[in-house]
């Protein structure tokens, strides 16, 4: 029952192009979106109950939609009725849940092109890449299992005083993140606020790509923002309630680019999350939802680490029967500390995302970090800074540290020589701290220059100035990110974009492998 339709765009022309004052960087922001007020032609569409409207909106294209009647949700987050919502650079699925009346929902939508891209598209394009692709798909079975899983989690919350701690495993693009969003959104509707942990550094969740984060989901997702997450706190007011994550630096987008660092940061994030659960009864009762990169049985050590770091008591495997069997076998010993392993069938509606789309999403995520969303625009701050005032580290790639390791299958036979007991022990960490070596994780940059820094994202650590402890560097979290827009090797200066006005509040920075082009 799939019918694919292509929509031609009406060529919108904007009378006035708005540019955020104070920033002549040529960055396009959401306010550059052409809003055609006169001749807007809305297409009305009925989504039958338990069906999903899948739509792919290119980055240059803007889709505006209204829920005219009925209930519509995006990954469990209900959309307001008769409110115009704007989407761009997104693949979204609007689902009409089963209700008493079972009448589905009706939406209307229209499309346009972002102003800033109208002139810039010179590459002989006929505009077809700006067309949205959309179709309706019947989704009863996969949504039913999501709802059932939600009820399982909610009964656990009801029956115990510790919420479920769930980890989702599946191939890339198997719908892990969508499932977790749905579960978190449903939990929210039960008046819960679970912590959403993102261990997939390819996506920045309330942060930038390259980070590992944990965020209590205490209010709705902002479905219109990049990847449908939303804002963290700002200096002013935001249209939606913001979220408050903790951010750990990893610095790469693939978990196996430096597995030592990855595992280390996962464990430190686990410590933070478990401590938060101790402190915060509401969050403890709501539980933890952990998103992961595409892990296979070859990455069992990582799976095992995550299970122990976050005291996981349920693993949900999406669409991989074999992995379920293997995991049940390997976790057989966990009888005293029950670990449920359940599987969900992969939703037919999981959209294939190509490499270019992932890149664009990452760029959009970074832009949103500095410039905010359409509904809550933010003003970042440009400043010049001398290298001499800074202590700069960079993340080591495994291949740099030990080239031979780079050729091993990811995760196989590669157990880092890390003394966990020492690392976990922050209180009296002096015992071995002199011997602790940064080599596997970070290296100090003695001569920063343009070739290293240009267009990179810098993680600003929480470390106070002149803290020289390697251990502290490993254990610190990220205070924020800066973007290096210009490097002057002669003057040994660089120009950086900061999210917050003022001087750089910390001087210990980590160069990440994440790049951004304004």
Partner 1 sequence: MAVFDQNKADLLSDFEQSLKELTFPALPVIENLTEIARENTDVADKILQLIKTRIAKSIPDHKLASLYLFDSIVKKIGPPYNILVGDEIFEIYSNSYLLVNDKTRQRLSNLFETWKNTKSKGSNSPLFPRNQMDKIERFLQQANKSKSGNEGDAYGSGSGSGPGSGFNTASSTAPSSTHTTPGSTPSLPNKPMLMDHSKSTLTNASLIKDIDTLIPFSQNKLRNNPSDSKLQERINALSKLRTLLASQNMSVKELQTIQDRLRNIMQQEFGSSGSSTPTGMNTIPVQTPVPVVATTIHSSLSSSTSPSQSNIANEFFNMLIASGLVKVDQSLIPGSHPKYELKFPRIIKTGSVGNSISSASNSALERLLYGAKNGLTGEIGKTSSNMNNINNNTNTNTNGGVVGFETLKNIELNKLNVDPKNLQKFISSNKPSSVSISLLYDSKPSKCGTCGKRFSDDENGIQKRRLHLDWHFRVNKRLSSNTSTTGGKGGIIQSRNWYLDGYDWVKFKDENLLEYSTNGADSANAMNSLSLSSSSKASTPTPGSNSNNPNSIDGLLLNDGRVPFVVIPTNETNMINKCQICQDQINATYDDDSGEWRWVNCIKAPGEGKNSRKIFHATCFLEANKKRGADGDLNVKVKREKI
**265 is known to lie in a ligand binding site:** no
Draw the binding track, 196-215, toward partner 1 (x: CB under 8 A; -: no contact).
Answer: -----------x--------
Can you tell me the distance from the alpha carbon of 242 to that of 484, in angstroms, rounded to the nearest whole number? Answer: 26
Site for partner 1 in 392-421 (CB under 8 A): none
CB of 279 vs partner 1, minimal distance in Å:
6
CB of 195 vs partner 1, minimal distance in Å:
10
**145 is known to lie in a ligand binding site:** no
CB of 410 vs partner 1, minimal distance in Å:
28
Total number of residues binding partner 1 (CB under 8 A)? 100
With contacts defined by CB under 8 A, name the span among 275-283, 288-296, 300-308, 350-358 that binds partner 1.
Answer: 275-283
CB of 193 vs partner 1, minimal distance in Å:
6
Task: For residue 420, give the nearest of 404, 441, 396, 436 by alpha carbon.
Answer: 436
97 touches partner 1 (CB under 8 A): yes
372 touches partner 1 (CB under 8 A): yes
CB of 447 vs partner 1, minimal distance in Å:
27
Out of 25, 43, 128, 158, point to the residue binding partner 1 (CB under 8 A): 158
The 3-class SS string of 327-391 reads HHHHCCCCCCCCCEEEEECCCCCCCCCCHHHHHHHHHHHHHHHHHECCCCECCCEEEEEEHHHCE
Can you tell me the distance from the alpha carbon of 74 to that of 222, in angstroms, rounded to the nearest whole number? Answer: 10
User: What residues does 318 pair with on adjacent strands?
Assistant: 170, 344
CB of 153 vs partner 1, minimal distance in Å:
10
CB of 66 vs partner 1, minimal distance in Å:
9
**10 is known to lie in a ligand binding site:** no
CB of 256 vs partner 1, minimal distance in Å:
25
Can you tell me the distance from the alpha carbon of 195 to that of 274, in angstroms, rounded to the nearest whole number? Answer: 10
44 touches partner 1 (CB under 8 A): yes
With contacts defined by CB under 8 A, name the span among 33-41, 226-234, 353-361, 397-405 that binds partner 1.
Answer: 226-234
Out of 245, 270, 349, 513, point to the residue binding partner 1 (CB under 8 A): 245
Can you tell me the distance from the alpha carbon of 459 to that of 440, in angstroms, rounded to the nearest whole number? Answer: 18
- Residue 379 or 443: the one with the smaller Cβ distance to partner 1 is 379
247 touches partner 1 (CB under 8 A): yes
Alpha helices per DSSP H over 121-198: 140-159, 176-189
Residue with tokens 């749905």: 182
430 touches partner 1 (CB under 8 A): no
- Residue 424 or 500: the one with the smaller Cβ distance to partner 1 is 500
Apex 84 CA angle, 82 and 85, nearest 5:
125
User: Contact 107/72 with Cβ under 8 angstroms?
Assistant: yes
User: Contact 449/489 with Cβ under 8 angstroms?
Assistant: yes
Would the CA dihedral through 349, 133, 77, 42 be positive or negative? negative
With contacts defined by CB under 8 A, name the span among 7-15, 40-48, 54-62, 486-494 that binds partner 1.
Answer: 40-48
317 touches partner 1 (CB under 8 A): no
Give phi and psi for 138, each to the nearest 5.
Answer: -75, 130
**173 is known to lie in a ligand binding site:** yes
- The DSSP-derived string for 273-304 is HHHHHHH-HHHHHH-EEEE--S--GGGHHHHH
Q: Which residues contact residue 453 at a Cβ distance below 8 angstroms, ignoring those fewer than 6 apart?
A: 484, 487, 494, 511
With contacts defined by CB under 8 A, name the span among 86-94, 303-311, 472-480, 486-494 that binds partner 1.
Answer: 472-480
Residue with tokens 């550094």: 201
Q: How many residues does the chain have?
A: 518
Out of 464, 469, 488, 491, point to the residue binding partner 1 (CB under 8 A): 464
Give phi and psi for 286, each to the nearest 5.
Answer: -85, -30
95 touches partner 1 (CB under 8 A): no
Out of 34, 62, 71, 484, point to the residue binding partner 1 (CB under 8 A): 71
Site for partner 1 in 493-512 (CB under 8 A): 499-502, 505-506
98 touches partner 1 (CB under 8 A): yes
With contacts defined by CB under 8 A, name the span among 150-158, 196-204, 302-310, 509-517 that binds partner 1.
Answer: 150-158
27 touches partner 1 (CB under 8 A): no
339 touches partner 1 (CB under 8 A): no
189 touches partner 1 (CB under 8 A): yes
276 touches partner 1 (CB under 8 A): yes
Q: Which helix (H) or strand (E) holds 58?
A: strand 51-69
**176 is known to lie in a ligand binding site:** yes
CA atoms within 13 A on the CB side of 228: 23
Site for partner 1 in 436-455 (CB under 8 A): none
Can you tell me the distance from the alpha carbon of 7 to that of 111, in angstroms, rounded to the nearest whole number? Answer: 9
Task: For residue 214, give the nearest of 253, 264, 266, 159 by alpha carbon.
Answer: 266
Can you tell me the distance from the alpha carbon of 384 to that of 496, in angstroms, rounded to the nearest whole number? Answer: 6
Query: Which residues participate in the annotated binding site for ATP?
Result: 52, 91, 173-178
Query: Which residues participate in the annotated binding site?
Result: 52, 91, 173-178
């Amino acid at each position: 029952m799939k019918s694919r339709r292509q929509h031609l765009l009406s060529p919108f022309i904007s009378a006035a192009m708005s540019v955020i004052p104070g920033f002549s960087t040529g960055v396009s922001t959401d306010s550059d979106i052409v809003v055609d007020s006169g001749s807007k032609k809305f297409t009305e569409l009925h989504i039958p109950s338990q069906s999903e409207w899948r739509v792919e909106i290119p980055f240059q294209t803007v889709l505006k939609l209204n829920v005219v009647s009925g209930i519509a949700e995006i990954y469990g987050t209900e959309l307001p009725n008769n409110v115009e919502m704007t989407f761009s650079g997104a693949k979204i699925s609007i689902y009409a849940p089963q209700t008493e009346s079972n009448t589905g929902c009706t939406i209307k939508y229209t499309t346009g092109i972002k102003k800033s891209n109208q002139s810039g598209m010179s590459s002989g394009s006929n505009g077809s890449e700006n067309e949205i692709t959309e179709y309706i798909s019947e989704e009863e079975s996969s949504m039913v299992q999501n709802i059932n899983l939600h009820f399982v989690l909610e009964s656990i919350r009801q029956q115990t005083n510790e919420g479920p701690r769930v980890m989702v495993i599946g191939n890339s693009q198997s719908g892990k993140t969508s499932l977790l969003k749905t579960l978190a959104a449903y939990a929210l509707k039960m008046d819960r606020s679970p912590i959403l942990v993102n261990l997939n550094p390819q996506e920045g969740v309330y942060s930038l790509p390259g980070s590992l984060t944990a965020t209590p989901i205490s209010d709705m997702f902002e479905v219109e923002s990049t990847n449908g997450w939303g804002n963290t706190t700002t200096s002013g007011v935001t249209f939606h309630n913001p979220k408050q994550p903790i951010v750990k630096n990893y610095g790469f987008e693939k978990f196996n680019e430096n597995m030592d660092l990855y595992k280390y940061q996962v464990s430190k994030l686990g410590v933070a999350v478990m401590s938060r659960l101790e402190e915060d009864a509401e969050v403890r009762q709501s539980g933890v939802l952990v998103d992961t990169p595409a892990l296979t049985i070859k990455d069992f050590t990582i799976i095992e680490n995550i299970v122990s770091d976050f005291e996981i008591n349920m693993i949900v495997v999406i669409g991989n029967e074999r992995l379920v069997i293997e995991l049940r076998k390997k976790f057989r010993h966990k009888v005293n500390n029950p670990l449920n392993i359940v599987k969900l069938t992969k939703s037919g509606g999981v959209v294939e995302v190509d490499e270019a789309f992932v890149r664009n999403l990452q760029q959009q995520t970074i832009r949103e970090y500095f410039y905010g969303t359409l509904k809550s625009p933010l003003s970042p701050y440009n400043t010049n800074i001398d290298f001499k005032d800074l202590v700069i580290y960079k993340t080591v790639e495994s291949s740099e540290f030990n080239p031979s390791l780079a050729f091993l299958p990811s995760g196989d036979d590669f157990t880092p020589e890390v003394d966990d007991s020492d690392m976990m022990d922050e209180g009296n960490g002096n015992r071995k701290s002199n011997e602790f070596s940064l080599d596997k994780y970070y290296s100090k940059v003695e001569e920063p220059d343009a070739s290293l820094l240009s267009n990179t994202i810098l993680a600003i650590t929480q470390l106070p100035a002149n803290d020289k402890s390697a251990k502290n560097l490993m254990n610190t979290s990220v205070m924020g990110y800066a973007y290096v827009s210009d490097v002057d090797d002669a003057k040994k200066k660089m120009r950086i974009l900061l999210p917050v006005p003022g001087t750089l509040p910390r001087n210990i920075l980590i160069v990440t492998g994440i790049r951004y082009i304004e």
